[in-house]
Structure 1
């Protein structure tokens, strides 16, 4: 999965650009809700509601309520310590990609001190133990289906390290909004213990319901707290395996770690593909049977 060329130039795709910017230009929340209802209805006719995946428990209904009202919902510890150990062990010799600078791939042990944020390649995420099973679990697919009112699409899947580095913070770790689709949510899972010194995720309560600017930008901490108050910021801390759902159309950031590195899994569910990306599904030869529609952008079954 790589970023698409959305502006004129080499490999520019006009239709993809139109699809991406059409949802960026509609900023009025009431109008966006109308479009979402129409898209959801069309997808239900073609693919079903997705609600048949699981009957919601009271805890899952509470999570859906929190997500709709706040934009953030804690989901508890969905991976146990042994599963987190399996993931860390499997990744130990896999190459990382520096998000801030163009440099050759490196393992975690080979990481240079200047590297602030680094990702694993999608093929390694797909093959990693427990990741696809969690992304396709009835609980998470059911939550996504209820939030979008149709069967969801997994439109992004990633494993990212964030490291404590002196100097200015990466732009990836400043307050911002995402603009991936008409409606989407991200499920984030800590694979290391995350406290205030390990770069917790911070979310501005209710900001997913507010009007976003056409031109997305970064916000300083003082700008956010001055306009909304520090008590409106929700900080996600937890032991490894802790999971939470966020609608990142709202204002959020992953705090830059100050003491300890953070490894985090991101699963993105959406109505449509994110037209900001070019998708090349990775072959999967494992034992998991998964819904081909839900996984079509990222995974193709082995032969």
Structure 2
């Protein structure tokens, strides 16, 4: 075991994956000699050479198209999109090519083994072009898997599982935790199964659900609620697509209540999909309406970031509303 921040854990995962499989390659804007804007790929070019860790032109559509081509030929490209906000120029390639490659060929060819890594979310005073959480856009697209880790150990295990996955994966990394989140991480190769949520805290009164950077926020809210005698069951979804319906439903059948938190705007956010599915599966068990604590339906603001973020106080109020309904 070693102490690592999230960037170090991601770098370690990439190192192990590249050592294990010659088909794994890393590329993106400034990824090679520079290690990327956040240094996630630092020293990988020195270790594996310019043919396996290299810079690309500043074109996200080109990065995604290049990744599709490499994956179609059996390689395992790990393509970095410098910020999740910049993934939109690559949207056509990801949604119309990456996601549909296997289906359109009747499984004659595919781009399994392709991973798009990209830092998402706010918390770094990045304003409206460096703070977005676009997971819901891609969750609407069959053929993609979407993964969001909450800490260094999770980031490493989930990234290794994503690289080894037979389906294309978008791996959203919470950038505000890159250096803020430090934990014990095994130095060995290990994978954490995709599509499986984790119950971090057992509770009986209300289920509180989030993913990525918002986990720290809901855990803080759960601590505040505990001081009021409210017992929260805390769940990290980990995978947005596919998402673990059974674990969430089992929890809600026990608690009778659900609070969902995500940083993306409320309207059309993935919380709506979760709420719709859970109300259908757990309708006769629900004691109160499902609560959504989300970002506002506005561009991500720079000056008013604290007002925008669905923080622990907003989550705590939602927990109280749910329990006192």
Which is greater in Rg?
2
Taking CA–CA contacts closer than 8 Å with sequence separation of 6 or more, which of the two structures ends up with the larger relative contact order? 1
| TM-score scaled by length of structure 1 | 0.26
